[in-house]
Structure 1
Amino acid sequence: MSTLRGTIEGLASQFASSVIEALRGASIDELLDVAQGGAAGGGGGARRGRVTREVTTEVAVAAPRVRRGRGGRLGRRSANDIAAMINSIVSLLQQNPGGLRAEQIREALGVEAKELPRPLGEATDQGLISKEGQKRATTYFAGGGAAKRGGAKAAGGRGRKRG
């Protein structure tokens, strides 16, 4: 009896390993096709039909992701979208006269980091906001905020003494 049990356990383990290996080698499209009862799923009976409906429901609920295109890039934004983002940034900076860093702006507006560079650049080019500092230490101000505060650029140069 123990020999039969050992044989069954060995076969079950081997079967499970083979199934896992097949799943790892399959593409997402193949898996979805099988789950939805496609050609790979066969034309099974009533019991198989019930199972695929349950799996299809689970797959549909578990994957409400928004597709962005290749590389996780953002979808193309219209000029109105960018203008709305610029207005949001300017009004936020007007409420914070001490200025904000890009990560603080991102958190306050609830947007992704890759959504900010273009609106920040355009707002700076248009003179709606100004900036002081470099890289992650860059602080943005509404209007000419950096010049009003007497930053290094407003004082004339990089802070070196002349003489």
Structure 2
Amino acid sequence: MTRLAETFARDVLSAIRSAPLDEVLGGGRGRPAAAVAVVTGAAPAAKSKGRVAAPAAAPERKGGNGRLHRRSDDEIGVVVEKIVSLLKKNPTGLRAEQIREKLSLAPKELPRPIKDALSGKKITAKGQKRATTYFAK
């Protein structure tokens, strides 16, 4: 029984040591950092001079799963301008998936800039759902 417990403990420690650093420090989906520190015997990461470290950039996930990092209005504005520029080069219009493809955007990155461009009257739309075609004004 003791040997089984030792093997289990060694395997758990090995799994924790091979986990990504942000997960071990509490930034991932795993346990909070304090719980990991208790299991591993390590001290939790200390804050430096009262400052909290900035969160790590969101990892890229395949298949469009996962959340995007929160984009600023400026970042969204840049994407809007790219969309308008692309649509000006394509007077016959483009569908959302074509815009996304040509600008190398993730599926979740496009709805907000499209909405902002439409509300700002920089582009127009014709059609419904996936058949919607967007045009530059």
Q: Could you say which TM-score interval applies, normalised by the shorter chain?
A: 0.5 to 0.7
Q: Tell me the equivalent position of 1:67.
A: 58
Identity over the aligned pairs, expressed in percent? 48
Structure 2 length normalisation: TM-score? Answer: 0.58
Deviation at 1:67, TM superposition (A): 3.2
- The residue identity in structure 2 corresponding to 1:112 is A
Q: Tell me the equivalent position of 1:123.
A: 117
Q: Tell me the equivalent position of 2:49.
A: none
Q: Tell me the equivalent position of 1:33.
A: 17
Q: Find out whether 1:138 has 2:135 as its counterpart.
A: no
Q: Residue 15 of structure 2 aligns to a residue in which SS?
A: helix
Q: Residue 70 of structure 2 aligns to a residue in which SS?
A: coil
Deviation at 1:33, TM superposition (A): 1.9
Q: Retained in 2: the 8 A contact 1:34–1:40?
A: no
Q: Tell me the equivalent position of 2:43.
A: none
**Separation in 2 of the partners of 1:31 and 1:135?**
45
**Separation in 2 of the partners of 1:115 and 1:76?**
11
Q: Residue 127 of structure 1 aligns to a residue in which SS?
A: coil
Q: Retained in 1: the 8 A contact 2:77–2:113?
A: yes
**Separation in 2 of the partners of 1:34 and 1:104?**
40
Map Cα deviations across residues 65-109 of structure 1 (whole Å, 9 max, x no partner): x635xx711011011101100000000000000000000000000
Runs of 4+ in 1 over 6 A off after TM superposition: 38-41
Q: Which has the higher helix share?
A: 1
Q: Tell me the equivalent position of 1:92.
A: 86
CA RMSD of aligned residues (A): 3.5
Structure 1's unaligned 5+ residue stretches are 1-18, 42-65, 144-163
Structure 2's unaligned 5+ residue stretches are 1-7, 20-36, 41-56, 60-64
Q: Retained in 2: the 8 A contact 1:102–1:138?
A: yes
Compare relative contact order (CA 8 Å, sep 6+) and give the higher one, 1 or 2: 2
**Separation in 2 of the partners of 1:34 and 1:76?**
28
Distance 1:136 1:30, change over 3 A: farther
Q: Find out whether 1:114 has 2:108 as its counterpart.
A: yes
Matches within 5 A, 1:7-22: none
**Separation in 2 of the partners of 1:30 and 1:82?**
42
Q: Retained in 2: the 8 A contact 1:130–1:141?
A: yes
